[in-house]
Structure 1
Amino acid sequence: MTPPPSTATRPRVEGDREQQLLDATLAVLAEVGYDRLTMDAVATAAKASKATLYRRWTNKAELVVDALGSLKEPPADAVDTGTLRGDLIATFCGTGGMVEPETLASFTSVMTAITTDPEFAAVFRERVLGPKLAVAHQIYVRAKARGEIRADLDLDLLEPALPGIVLHRACVLGDLPTPDLITRVIDEIILPAATRPPAGPTT
């Protein structure tokens, strides 16, 4: 039997066709979630063969992560409005921010996989969450340099707080993200936590 051609000799899937496959992946992901998504289902949705998918992606974890990465993203460098409040509002309410339905859908569709599939979780955290966390870190470091927030503030603790609160409200309470909700969380939780001195020991 003649062995199948190696991936090195197969034509690469790229350009518009690659985006079509990624769009089909997002559609299947939104419909059935990560756990039930299969390469067969994506191939059917994209009117392609599984071989076409495997020319570009070795498994569904890589395919889904690339599909999520193809969604609109915030700029690689955080917007600089001159204030922490302005930077957070611009980032989380702007392009690629949490008010966009695609952003929320992408997170909710992979929630279970993040906790049950270590391979997927590692790739997702590196390639999807990583750039977002880097932008948030840049915002808070810049605010600390401006003297807007406490010098002793634990940035590792605070940086994921805003998306964490918004996602909790969306996924658990059914309170979908809006610019008003995000602004209220910033004004009533994030900024007070970043600027007030830490509580002293109880007596």
Structure 2
Amino acid sequence: MTVTGTARRSRISPEREAELHEAVLELLREVGYEALTMDAVAARTKSSKATLYRQWGSKPELVARALRCAQPVSLRDIDTGSLRGDLRRMVELSDDGQMAKDTALMRGLAQAVHSSPELHLALRQLLMEPEITGLGVMLQRAVDRGEVASDNPAVRFVPHMLIGAFIALPLMEDRSVDRAFLGDFIDSVVFPALGV
């Protein structure tokens, strides 16, 4: 099973699409994934359910695309000429307020993926894989430049390290990841593991 929304043709302007995505995220924060319905999204956005289904196909895909569009920049688009610069730029482009909101959303969605294989698939394909691919491109450039040894076993675990930081900090310290923590984590954990 794959998410097929990319094949649909949009009749919605980019501005309207952004408005719909923001409404989905607001509803998610208010009621959680399980209670979020296409009817509620349609009512909140003054659109029809048919339009929502035609554009996004399903609730899991709509949620995953809304989360994807909330990302400030794709990691693939960051290229400062060094891995240190790239990861620092990633931190600079992050927003503490947005990360706090995203942490709360992801905490709720982490529960929902256990009961919804469709949500799990949509989040993985539309949210996680593009970022992991972008991070992979960033790391490969660092290997190609000689910043990171090509046989360094930690390279393949960088996504796990970063995702783990976002999951562990709220669990261990009951706070959201912010730019200061993310920068410290990268300097103290990621760079040493990569030998940078």
TM-score of the alignment, normalized to the shorter chain, above 0.5: yes
Q: What does residue 6 of structure 2 align with?
A: none
Query: What is the distance in 1 between the residues matched to 2:53 and 2:127?
Result: 21
Using the size of structure 2 for normalisation, the TM-score is 0.79
Contact 1:79/1:90 (CA < 8 Å) preserved in 2? yes
Q: What does residue 82 of structure 2 align with?
A: 83
Query: What is the distance in 2 between the residues matched to 1:99 and 1:37?
Result: 21
- Count of aligned positions: 186
Contact 2:75/2:135 (CA < 8 Å) preserved in 1? no
Going by fraction, where is helix more abundant, 1 or 2? 2
| Deviation readout 1:156-188 (Å, 9 max, x if unpaired) | 222331232133203542232222211111111
Change (3 A) 1:159 1:19: closer
Contact 2:86/2:138 (CA < 8 Å) preserved in 1? yes
* 1:38 Cα offset (Å): 1.1
Q: What does residue 183 of structure 2 align with?
A: 183
Q: Note the residue ranges of structure 1 that are not aligned, 5 or more in a row.
A: 1-10, 197-203
Query: What is the distance in 1 between the residues matched to 2:117 and 2:128?
Result: 15
Change (3 A) 1:23 1:195: same
Q: Relative contact order (C-alpha < 8 Å, sep 6+): which is higher?
A: 2
Q: What does residue 167 of structure 2 align with?
A: 167
Within-5 A mapping of 1:30-69? 30-69=29-68
Given residue 179 of structure 2, which amino acid in structure 1 is its aligned partner? P
Q: Note the residue ranges of structure 2 that are not aligned, 5 or more in a row.
A: 1-8
Q: What does residue 194 of structure 2 align with?
A: 194
Fraction of identical pairs, as percent: 31
SS at match of 1:148: coil
Query: What is the distance in 2 between the residues matched to 1:77 and 1:153?
Result: 21
Q: Stretches of 4+ moved more than 6 A in 1?
A: 96-99
Query: What is the distance in 1 between the residues matched to 2:159 and 2:137?
Result: 10
